[in-house]
Chains A and B, each alone.
Chain A
Amino acid sequence: MAVLSTLVPRRILAAVESMAPSGRHLLQMNAFATDAETPLDALTTYITPNDLFFVRHHWVPAIPDPASWKLTIDGEVSRPLALSLEELKQMPRAEATCVLQCAGNGRALHRPIVPGVQWSYGAVGNARWTGVRVKDLLERAGVRGAAQHLHTFGTDKPPMKVPPFYRSLEMEKVLADGIIAYEMNGEPLPALHGGPARLVVPGWAGDHWMKWLDRLSPQAKPQNGFYMDVAYRYPNEPGEPGVGKKPDEMHPVTELFVKSNITQAPSTVRVGSTATLRGFALSGAPDIAKVELSADGERWEPAHLLPDHDPYAWRLWEHAWIPTQPGKTQLFVRATDSRGSVQPKDAVWNQSGYLYNSWHSVSIEVTG
């Protein structure tokens, strides 16, 4: 049974017990429901540490007690199940190292401005998720062929008449790649990030990664409701920026778009000397093919991709830039993924601000 609790006691304890000086910090967007992004200059490692991983809650969550928590599987199955955390852990372990990015990451950068949490760059991270394959679990439950969509439910309950955050996603994707994760980077999945268990959908935006997961239900039809039929939808065709579209002119957000960010760059450099820039690149495709930098948006220099990689994980990159002319220079980065999709100069504007992926840039002062 879900324990109705807020994070208050935890926060008080943390405030009292961990007062040692530290530079590690998040950028809080909302105190409650809690939202916080990672500073871009902290996203420099292949694995994003748990305590620096962005936090995104719709409401003050009802966090389940791991000791009494159960994952129910019903719907189009011949053997409905209700498994405890211990029972889940006795199943074969599966692991995926991949990117989790909020669908709204970069919302603050869309123009015209759109409502919602004003994320800039840091509602993204790369982590190692460990748990059980969705495929193994659904096979154990005897999933039927009629099931085309997996309905997912978590324990967080909305206030007042706000519709619940119930979702579904295509069986084909979740059977191929989905994991029910109970560990994040080798630690029990933190409650802040959906513990005891959440859904992991490599390559897809965070709205599919149901936190505080407590029920899976394979069904013939997609889930209905506000968070399927109205929210988390993306235009079928780009429109005029600032002009909203009707829900039936849009489709659910699924795969991430190819994008790259610069996480480290010097503010000044001399003509003829080397400036080292670093960053990451990600996509809904399994890998990044190349990352390039340009001072004019026309002539592009390839960056060096670092070897660390797993399917749907990000690629770290670095680039040694040698300026030839003095003056303030804007350096742009763009990525191309393994399917050939190239990051666009301008993201497609949409009224909810999803999947922002315009070229990122830094300004560097080149001295003579």
Chain B
Amino acid sequence: MRLWVAGILMLAAVGLWIVLGVRGKESVVPEAARTQAAQSQLPVLGSVVAPLPEGPGKSIAERTCLPCHSGDILRQQRLTEKQWTAVLTKMAGWGAELSDSDRVVLMPYLVSQFGPENNRFQPAAVRPIQP
């Protein structure tokens, strides 16, 4: 288990290193830039980790969600408060550490950042890992 957690932390660290150090703000390549991507060097699958958006609740989201997920899974959701409530209940049951006071801050963050109007997510164009 400890090895496994270390693995995740290492992956996150490497991803962040590549995002911050190599890719700068181009960590997420928009769909429209695909043809340009063909001529450029793409990040490798799994090496691009987009940060969570700023806002109250960000640090709770990082602490609660990112041990098991990259931020992408949050960034691509477009859920109502009812749907987010169901997700949080499921995740708390599966071991996410979430106090009642955390939940009071986290819910508005999730609903405002990743609600039905959220359209920030674009999949990142990445270089396939060679088999």
Contacts and interface: CB of A to CB of B under 8 A. Distances in A.
B105 interface: no
Contact of B77 (A21, A28, A62, A115): A115
A31 B41 contact: no
Given A25-B126, A190-B131, A34 B46 contact: yes
Contacts of B78: 113
Contacts of A108: 76
B44 interface: yes
Interface of A: 4-8, 10-12, 14-15, 18-19, 21-34, 36-37, 39, 50-52, 55, 59-60, 62, 108, 113-115, 117-118, 157, 159-163, 184, 187-188, 190, 192
Given A11-B44, A23-B39, A30-B73, 10 more contacts: A12-B14, A21-B41, A31-B15, A36-B126, A51-B128, A51-B130, A118-B76, A118-B121, A160-B96, A192-B131
A269 B33 CA distance: 24
B53 to A, nearest CB: 16
A290 to B, nearest CB: 31
Contact of B46 (A21, A23, A28, A117): A28
Contacts, number: 155
A32 B8 contact: yes
Interface of B: 3-4, 7-8, 10-12, 14-15, 18, 34, 37-49, 67-70, 72-73, 76-79, 83, 87, 93-96, 116, 121, 123-131
Most buried by A among B39, B72, B116: B72
A37 B129 CA distance: 13
A163 B93 CA distance: 10
Contacts of B3: 4
A356 B121 CA distance: 20
A24 B128 CA distance: 7
A162 B95 contact: yes
Contacts of B37: 23, 25
B7 A6 contact: yes
Contacts of B76: 29, 108, 117-118
B11 A52 contact: no
Contact of B4 (A25, A159, A163, A190): A159
B95 A28 contact: no
A7 B46 contact: yes
Nearest to A19: B41
Contacts of B40: 21
Contacts of A115: 77, 79, 83, 87
Given A12-B14, A31-B48, A192 B68 contact: no
Contact of B44 (A14, A32, A39, A117): A14
A30 B28 CA distance: 11
A162 B127 contact: no
B59 to A, nearest CB: 20
Nearest to B76: A118
A65 B117 CA distance: 45
Contacts of A28: 45-46, 48, 72, 123-126
A28 B3 CA distance: 25
27 contacts: A7-B11, A8-B7, A11-B11, A12-B14, A15-B47, A18-B130, A21-B39, A22-B127, A23-B38, A23-B39, A24-B127, A25-B38, A27-B123, A28-B46, A31-B47, A31-B70, A31-B72, A33-B68, A50-B131, A51-B130, A59-B68, A115-B77, A117-B73, A160-B68, A160-B94, A161-B93, A162-B95
Given A23-B37, A59-B68, A10 B7 contact: no
Contacts of B130: 14, 18, 51
Contact of B95 (A12, A117, A161): A161
A240 to B, nearest CB: 15
A363 to B, nearest CB: 15
A60 B38 CA distance: 29
Given A25-B127, A33-B69, A60-B4, A161 B11 contact: no
B87 to A, nearest CB: 6
A235 to B, nearest CB: 18
A250 to B, nearest CB: 16
B71 to A, nearest CB: 8
